[in-house]
Amino acid sequence: MKMRPGTQTGFLLCGKEWIEGETLEVRSPWDQGLVGRVTVATRADARQAVNHAVASLRRTRALPRWKRREILEDVAGALIEQKERFAQLIVAEAGKPVRQARVEVDRAVVTFKTAAEESARLGGESLPLDLTEGNEGRWGLVQRFPVGPVLAITAFNFPLNLVAHKVAPALAAGCPVILKPAPQTPFTALALGEVILKAGWPEEALAVLTLDNADTAWLAEKEDRVKLVSFTGSAKVGWQIKEHSGRKRVLLELGGNAALIVHGDWPDLDEAAVRTTHGAFGFAGQSCISVQRVFVERKIFQSFLWKVVEAAAKLVSGNPSDESTEVGPLIRQSEAERVESWVKEAVEGGAKLIAGGERQGSMITPAILTGTKLGMKVRDEEVFGPVVAIEPYDDFEEALAEVNHSKYGLQAGLLTRDAGRILTAYRELEVGGLIVGDSPNWRLDPMPYGGVKESGLGREGIRFAMEEMTEPRMLVMSGIG
């Protein structure tokens, strides 16, 4: 174990070795207390990690399916046993309320269990090739092989489960992994790396590197021995990686400004308001699919708006370590200042601030706006904070158009009982996923997850990520038997 309880010391994990060197301080988003110091990786460390990954590919590729499944099941079991340890790391690093941190650990367990199951299902097919005269006796076999070393770059907001969604399918597919966690949340990733090695994954086939931005860009864009880059983060950085990554495969999960449509036939507006509130303000809105835009049929608009205000007033904000807390701090005070400025900009532009929007340090009280317009950042951009804009609509087609009037397209939510409207929305909405009967921040980890437009490229979700991390290889047989 390379991390001490209390204030953490995180050593660099680089293909069999835990290395100590120059360190970076990690501080709590809640009170700026020192969480610990983590070793900063150098470009030489990154190059060495790639050397190890390339050398280990033959071994990971040859791991039998039962062994991959066993490793993944053991990781899931360790997460169950160490649930509170991981939850407290997430609270300390990310400022996530402790109950939500425990849910994240539970989700990571599901992610690794699903990967264990899918590792046994990853198969191929046989093809008849005697389809034209002269090809009698020919047949083909198609199997999927690991694409090679995977570079996984993750964001701070889900420091365990975001990592799991990249690492677990890579292990299931037989790919070595170089993991670059967010600098704000390295300790959870290092702890997971330790668990994975103890479960039996080849030591050379895993590295956890806390690289700076320049060396991360070099590794993603210039190191040709890395065969796939899976990135979660800002659209600007993600598309830059895609532009400069050459022949590498690139998977991008880049966020959005998720919308929810509430139609007048939805029978329980109280429930809808609660779901909207938790979808918008849980973990201070720091989720790619946090509810940011809500479009409500005009005949129920006022009633729904005030139900959301009432529900938001009941949320408990404060210390993420407290069991009652539902809304904690943003990851940095500068982010809270940015969100505050976006709310003020909207109000100065004519929007009405119905509730919240007050900042103290890294905390922002849940902000509810109406009267927002296109061109306002709270409407057009990804706020990534506890802010929601609620607007009325008269016609369902108008609501669909409002949802689509965005450069993002990750997920959307729809509350209606009308099958025709559901199918119309499914056909017309430009999103990667439509969640009917709930808010757009609902996600089950095995499902395909990703977006269109500026929200990303490719899909996460174990089976779908495994398809991206493997490539089909054809074997043609003739003259045998």
CATH code for the domain in which residue 90 is found: 3.40.605.10
| Catalytic residue status for 175 | no
pLDDT of residue 19: 73
Closest CA to 186 of 366, 9, 60: 9
Say whether pLDDT at 375 is over 90: yes
| Percentage of residues in the chain having pLDDT higher than 90 | 93
pLDDT of residue 15: 63
Residue 138 within a domain: yes
323 and 248 in a single domain? The answer is no
Residue 1 within a domain: no
Residue 305 within a domain: yes
92 and 156 in a single domain? The answer is yes
305 and 385 in a single domain? The answer is yes
* Residues 109-113, mean pLDDT to the nearest whole number: 98
296 and 175 in a single domain? The answer is no
> What CA–CA distance (Å, rounded) separates 417 from 438?
12
* Residues 239-264, mean pLDDT to the nearest whole number: 96
Q: What is the DSSP string of 188-200?
A: HHHHHHHHHHHTT
Check 253, 340, 382, 468 and give the catalytic one: 253
187 and 42 in a single domain? The answer is yes
Q: Give the confidence band of 2 by pLDDT, cuts at 50, 70, 90.
A: very low
Residue 404 within a domain: yes
Reported in sequence order, the residue ranges of 118-272 that DSSP labels E, i.e. its strands, are 125-128, 139-146, 150-153, 177-180, 206-208, 228-232, 249-253, 259-262
> What CA–CA distance (Å, rounded) separates 300 from 304?
6
349 and 380 in a single domain? The answer is yes
| Catalytic residue status for 288 | yes
pLDDT of residue 49: 94
Say whether pLDDT at 285 is over 60: yes
* Residues 227-241, mean pLDDT to the nearest whole number: 96
Give the domain CATH number at 405.
3.40.309.10
Residue 38 within a domain: yes
Backbone angles phi, psi at 30, to 5 degrees: -75, -55
Q: For the segment 307-342, what is each residue's pLDDT rounded down to a tens digit?
A: 999 999 999 999 999 999 999 999 999 999 999 999
173 and 213 in a single domain? The answer is yes
- Residue 185: which domain range? 8-254+456-475
Residue 20 within a domain: yes
Beta pairing, strands 34-39 & 23-27: antiparallel
Q: For the segment 121-132, what is each residue's pLDDT rounded down to a tens digit?
A: 998 899 999 999
99 and 183 in a single domain? The answer is yes
pLDDT of residue 11: 63
95 and 119 in a single domain? The answer is yes
DSSP summary character for residue 33? -
320 and 241 in a single domain? The answer is no
Q: How many domains does the chain have?
A: 2
Residue 462 within a domain: yes
197 and 269 in a single domain? The answer is no
108 and 245 in a single domain? The answer is yes
Retrieve residue 391's tokens.
Answer: 């607007």
Backbone angles phi, psi at 176, to 5 degrees: -65, 150
Say whether pLDDT at 1 is over 70: no
What lies within 8 Å, CB to CB, of 49 at 6+ separation is 14, 15, 41, 178, 207, 209
Q: For the segment 130-146, what is each residue's pLDDT rounded down to a tens digit?
A: 999 999 999 999 999 99
Closest CA to 105 of 138, 83, 128: 83
**265: helix, strand or coil:** coil
Check 104, 118, 175, 288 and give the catalytic one: 288
Mean pLDDT of the chain: 95
- The string over 106-144, giving b where at least 16 C-beta atoms fall within 10 Å of a residue's C-beta and e elsewhere, is bbbbbbbbbbbebbeebeeeeeeeeeeeeeeebbeeeeb
Residue 127 within a domain: yes
pLDDT of residue 14: 72
19-23, 96-100, 109-113, 419-423: range with lowest mean pLDDT? 19-23
pLDDT of residue 481: 59
